[in-house]
Structure formats: structure tokens, C-alpha cells
Amino acid sequence: MNQDELKQAVAKKAIDYILPKLESDSIVGVGTGSTANYFIDYLAEIKGHFDGTVASSEGSAERLKQHGIPVYDLNSVDSVVVYVDGADETNPQRELIKGGGAALTREKIVAAVADEFVCIADGSKWVEILGGFPLPVEVIPMARAHVGRELLKLGGNPVYRQGVVTDNGNEIIDVHGLAITDAKQMEQDINQIVGVVTNGLFAARPADVLLLGKESGVVQI
């Protein structure tokens, strides 16, 4: 199986995983990226089994609406039964790096609200130590240079993601060269920098379940 087929396999497995948890009034949280897009397409096939969704990006909201799946404002829902999203890296503790698609802040918000966070990832995302994938940090535009200097002090090499504006109107700095042995501490340290909206480490709130796509099949971790 190639990487794309592994993404499809984990997306399909996520449907099998969430289906027994859904009720007619359930709200499903939906992530962003190519793996999440496959999940959206499969979600369309079980449309009658839940009420609607909240989306972690304008792009995902658009795709959901194209399938005729209702998309609600997060402020208008009382609860989110499950959030399903991809990742750029995951370690064995299900701590993640996310934000390759620049949607990290909304992803973190929906994950925080959800009763359960199911991460779907192909095997290439599995690492022992996070940081091989540059860590995305969403910043308020006027603070970009300041945040960059502070990230240098933390040992990273910050690179401005040119031409990208997040759904929140902010910018992204990708931090290269971090070997993240204490993800919770690093997540906290970066979020303390004035001008940072949030960073792509999901360690304070890791995934509850990881569906990892391997050649031998999808494993649940």
C-alpha cells in the first residue's frame, strides 16, 4: 500500500471506530488535511447517524458542506462526542505535532472541547522523538520577529512560512531542529512567548486513540 492508501485505510477505520458512539444528536469534530479529507468523504456515507459537525478549518467546512453534512459554529454546540484528525508526527505516547496545514489553533480548540480525540495517521508519521517535522507556531503578525528571537533561545531554528495566512488572519513560523524529549514542557514554554497564539504540539491534550496505518494493517494504539 502506498501512503495515500494507508491514509484511506485509517480514515475508513475511524468510521468503524466512531459509528457505535454516535447518536442522532451527536456532533462530530472534523480535522484538516489529506487524511481528514478521506475521513470527511467516508463520513458522508453515514450522514444519517449523527446531527452534524464542527470543523477545524474553512477548507474542511467547505468539503463537509459539499457533501451536504451540516457544519455548526463551535460556540453553538454543547458538546463534541469525538474529534478525528490527522497528524504530522506522533510518538508512542500519542503526543503529536500538527499544523502542517496551518490549522493548528482551531484543531487544538476542537480537540480541547471533544470528549475523545482520535488521531488517524499513516505509518510515516510514527517517531520515537518529536521534532523531525518542523514545529508550526501560529503568531500574531506584528510579533513575528520577536517570537522568532525567543524561539532561537529555546534552541530551534525558526523559519517564516512565507505567503501563508491562517484562517484566523495570523502567520506561521516553522521551528526546525528541535529534538523534543519533553513535549508537555516545550508546548508550555512556546505558548508563554508573547505573540504566540499556539504551537502545534499536542501534548497537554494528546490523542486518546491513535489509528496507525501500516503495511500489515491498521493498528490501534
Ligand X SMILES: O=C(CO)[C@H](O)[C@H](O)COP(=O)(O)O
Is 103 near ligand X (CB under 6 A)?
yes
What contacts 33, CB < 8 A, 6 or more positions away? Answer: 85, 86, 100, 101, 103
Residue given cell 460556540 in the structure block: 75
**Piece of 11-19, 59-67, 94-102, 209-217 that binds ligand X (CB under 6 A):** 94-102
Is 138 near ligand X (CB under 6 A)?
no
Q: Which residues are annotated as a binding site for substrate?
A: 32-35, 85-88, 98-101, 125
Q: How far apart are CA 187 and CA 97, in angstroms?
A: 10
Chosen residue from 29, 101, 131, 156 binding ligand X by CB under 6 A: 101
Measured from the CB of residue 133, what is the shortest distance to ligand X in angstroms?
9
Measured from the CB of residue 97, what is the shortest distance to ligand X in angstroms?
8
Q: How far apart are CA 191 and CA 185, in angstroms?
A: 10
Is 201 near ligand X (CB under 6 A)?
no
Given a contact cutoff of 8 angstroms between Cβ atoms, the answer to whether 57 and 167 are in contact is: yes
214-220 — which CB contacts under 8 Å span 24+ positions? 214/6, 214/123, 215/1, 215/123, 217/9, 218/9, 218/10, 218/13, 220/17
Is 186 near ligand X (CB under 6 A)?
no
In DSSP notation, 148-166 reads: HHHHHHTT-EEEE-TT---
Is 59 near ligand X (CB under 6 A)?
no
Chosen residue from 100, 148, 158, 206 binding ligand X by CB under 6 A: 100
**From the candidates 23, 45, 62, 107, which is the catalytic residue?**
107
Site residues for ligand X, 106-135, by CB under 6 A, read 107
Q: How far apart are CA 49 and CA 115, in angstroms?
A: 18
Question: Which grid coordinates are listed for 113?
Answer: 472541547
The site string for ligand X over 12-51 (x = CB under 6 A, - otherwise) reads -------------------xxxxxx---------------
- Establish whether 138 is a catalytic residue: no
Bridge partners (DSSP) listed for residue 55: 30
Interface with ligand X: number of residues (CB under 6 A):
18
Is 85 near ligand X (CB under 6 A)?
yes
Residue 38 or 50 having the CB closest to ligand X: 38
| Enzyme catalytic residues | 107
Which residues of the shown chain bind ligand X in the complex (CB under 6 A)?
A: 31-36, 85-88, 98-104, 107
